[in-house]
């Protein structure tokens, strides 16, 4: 039987799970939010107004495209507001406090089939595997969390199980 993960909601019906980000990630989220509020929202409001002046709204593709863009911008603003309410900054000294264990904010070097790879464990908002930043919620992140130097962990992929040896944690 499949497991179902239940997400708790707060009094307003919003998810109350923390959003883990680094200081850099928090600055990026805030900058995006400010840009949307101060630049993109006013610009799209003006675009919608200008398109509305062109006449018949039923056949006005410019108006419909602008309204679509406005909906997308407003949705992203709401998403960012929700994330910023739930943000928890990852301790920049995580490695020093980890006691040698892989945890959120640490950088771990692993060896798989003789090849070494280095990843930083971050929250899902900042994950970018191509840049070596993997989410603590990903199969790789979950397998590595709590491991220590010298330990071998099993990483479940869609097609196989990889055996990864932890080389270093910083």
- Quote the tokens at residue 76: 């992203």
Could you give the CA distance from residue 103 to residue 119 in angstroms, rounded to a whole number? 12
Q: What is the pLDDT of residues 123-160, one digit of tens each?
A: 999 999 999 999 999 999 999 999 999 999 999 989 99
Whole-number average pLDDT of the chain:
88
Residue pLDDT, tens place only, 21-57: 999 999 999 999 999 999 999 999 999 999 988 877 7
E strand segments, the chain: 19-21, 87-89, 107-112, 115-122, 133-135, 152-156, 161-169
Class of domain 94-169: alpha beta
Identify the DSSP state of 55.
S
Residue spans per domain, the chain: 19-89, 94-169
Residues with Cβ < 8 Å from 58, sequence gap 6 or more? none
User: Top-level CATH class of 19-89?
Assistant: mainly alpha
pLDDT band at residue 74 under the 50/70/90 scheme: very high
At residue 15, the pLDDT reads 57
pLDDT score for 96: 67
> What is the 3-state secondary structure of 76-119?
HHHHHHHHHHCEEECCCCHHHHCCCECCCCCEEEEEECCEEEEE
48-74 exposure pattern, b = at least 16 Cβ within 10 A, e = fewer: beebeeeeeeeebeebeebbeebeebe
Contact of 132 with 121, CB cutoff 8 Å:
no
- Residues 3-29 have pLDDT tens digits of 433 344 445 555 569 999 999 999 999
Which pair of tokens denotes residue 7?
């997400």
Per-residue pLDDT, averaged over 99-127, amounts to 93
């Amino acid at each position: 039987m499949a497991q179902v993960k239940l997400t708790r909601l707060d009094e307003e019906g919003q998810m109350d799970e923390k959003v883990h980000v680094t200081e850099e990630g928090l600055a990026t989220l805030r900058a995006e939010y400010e840009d949307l509020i101060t630049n993109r929202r006013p610009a799209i409001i003006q675009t919608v107004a200008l398109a509305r002046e062109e006449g018949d709204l039923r056949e006005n593709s410019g108006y419909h495209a602008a309204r679509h863009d406005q909906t997308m911008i407003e949705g992203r603003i709401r998403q960012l507001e929700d994330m910023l309410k739930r943000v928890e900054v990852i301790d920049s000294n995580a490695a020093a406090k980890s006691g040698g264990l892989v945890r959120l904010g640490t950088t771990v070097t692993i060896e798989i089939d003789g090849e070494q790879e280095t990843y930083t464990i971050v929250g899902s908002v900042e994950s970018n595997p191509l840049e070596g930043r993997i989410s603590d919620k990903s199969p790789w992140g979950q397998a590595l969390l709590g491991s220590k130097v010298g330990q071998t962990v099993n990483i479940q992929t869609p097609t196989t199980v990889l055996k990864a040896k932890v080389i270093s944690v910083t």
